[in-house]
Structure 1
Amino acid sequence: MANPVLLLHGFTGSVASTWQPTGIIDLLSDGGREVIAWDLPGHGSAEKHHDPAGYADMEAKLVERLAAEVGEQTVDGVGFSMGSRTLLAMAAMAPERFGRLVVSGVGRNLFERDDEQAERIARGVSGEAEADDVHAQTFARYAAEPDQDGRALAAFMRRKHAPLGDDEFARITHPVRVVLGTEDFAGPADPLLDALADASFTGLRGCDHFATPKNFGFIDAVMEHLEVF
């Protein structure tokens, strides 16, 4: 029996904005895969907190949620941006629960957290972005969509993140496809490829960060790597 596929969207995203418009849910379903697609805490239709403490231990709680939904069944995973980091952290916490993984919109940025930039983005999504901070202003536009709550997204950004370092990467021995656009600020992909035991790479020529989930090359990479026929 083929593994279910867990889809995790990025910061300021949702199932409705990230996965449904591309048709990837239907493609996976047509390929015989059960699809598990969640709005992550603080996003879309999920529970929203205005205190960063409300998102404590998010990744561990998601592992528990996954176990409750699928039992002992192994799950493949697809993540974009923050969803990719979350997926990798979950795979490190519970390696036995995961099979093949696709992570997109991440690379060098996983190893160089910029707390000042994170705070600028948090201020941006809560409506306080500096006029000349293009990066924060971009996230602010996504945070202004009808199903989002800027204060909740700011609290989410300010939460304590699960660790993702040498110890965690050592536990991620799954086959991982890294997908990254040539114009993505998260790149290059090399540090992530070097950290993973079994990694392959798909580059998306001319693609920036936010266009990744809609890129046909990304969708093709998902279908190929997860062996959906």
Structure 2
Amino acid sequence: MGSVVLVHGWGGAFSTTWQRSGFTALLSDGGKHVIGVDLLGHGEAPKPHDPEAYADLTERVFDAIDAESPDEPVEAVGFSLGALTLLHAAIARPERFSRIVLAGIGQNVLERDHAGATRIVEGLERVIDAEDADTAPDLDEMDQIARLFVQYAQQPGNDIRALAAVMRRPSAGDFEPDDLGTVTCPVLVVVGDRDFVHPGDELASRFPDGRCETLKNVDHFATPEAFGFFDATLEFLDAI
């Protein structure tokens, strides 16, 4: 029975992203041992408010897979920030991964939208300032993507100050094309055609064994719950 590590996106958690949708049950039914990870600042993990604490998000991923699968490489599925974290992990220790699904990332890996990230941070800070002043934040002046991220951050159980610190982390930089080429295991990029990171074809082409699955009529936050994502990922991991 192979092991699969699941890594959620920014503002999510193992329980809300993977368990609530039934995806973990589908993997288990397909004979997979699921390794769940809550990234620092999310879910049941500690939630520091210092951006420097988030310099290496891969630590919790490696802690989990080294504890539960110390002798064998694992398959891995990541969404958004989780996919970016898995990329960092696979570049650092490619021998630990046998197959990787990267969902909710695409052109943003190759062409980072630093201005967009700044607008999201400014939106989060506006909400934090409103909380401190005990007033309602004004989201009307934000662009659509920043507003969506801010609303996602306000889900029950989230610490918006921790999530803002994650966005301001010092290691949120670009990937070099040559770095991507060191990830030699099979890689599947899954992205919705309504996702702001679409398309994913060029990213997939940077891997020696990469392919892309484009989901029709699916936006960013809907990706990990889309039936097309389930089907493509389960088939790729041979869990059907």
8 Å Cα contact 1:45/1:147 also seen in 2: no
22-31 or 64-73, which moves further after superposition?
64-73
Measure how far apart 1:196 and its partner are. 1.0
- Indicate the residue corresponding to 1:204 in structure 2: 215
Of 156, 160, 180, the residue aligned with 1:169 is: 180
SS of match in other structure, 2:239:
coil
43-52 or 57-66, which moves further after superposition?
57-66
8 Å Cα contact 2:76/2:99 also seen in 1: yes
Q: CA RMSD in A?
A: 1.7
* CA-to-aligned-CA distance 1:64-121 (integer Å, 9 cap, x gap): 4422332122100001111111111111111111011111111100111222221221
CA distance in 2, matches of 1:29, 1:42: 27
Amino acid at match of 1:187: H
Q: TM-score, normalised by structure 2?
A: 0.89
Measure how far apart 1:50 and its partner are. 0.6
8 Å Cα contact 2:41/2:162 also seen in 1: yes
Measure how far apart 1:56 and its partner are. 1.8
Aligned length: 228
- Indicate the residue corresponding to 2:108 in structure 1: 109
Measure how far apart 1:206 and its partner are. 0.8
* Consecutive unaligned residues in structure 1, runs of 5 or more: none
> 1:27-176 counterparts in 2 under 5 A?
27-60=26-59, 62-126=61-125, 127=127, 131-161=141-171, 164-176=175-187
- Indicate the residue corresponding to 2:192 in structure 1: 181
8 Å Cα contact 2:195/2:218 also seen in 1: yes
Of 187, 190, 196, the residue aligned with 2:201 is: 190
SS of match in other structure, 2:169:
coil
8 Å Cα contact 2:35/2:64 also seen in 1: no
* Consecutive unaligned residues in structure 2, runs of 5 or more: 129-138
Measure how far apart 1:60 and its partner are. 4.6
> 1:218-229 counterparts in 2 under 5 A?
218-229=229-240
SS of match in other structure, 1:224:
helix
Q: TM-score, normalised by structure 1?
A: 0.93
Measure how far apart 1:37 and its partner are. 1.3
Amino acid at match of 1:136: A
CA distance in 2, matches of 1:105, 1:131: 26
8 Å Cα contact 1:103/1:176 also seen in 2: yes
8 Å Cα contact 2:39/2:60 also seen in 1: no
CA distance in 1, matches of 2:181, 2:84: 15
CA distance in 2, matches of 1:55, 1:152: 10
- Indicate the residue corresponding to 1:6 in structure 2: 5
Among all aligned residue pairs of Structure 1 and Structure 2, give the percentage whose two residues are the same amino acid. Answer: 44
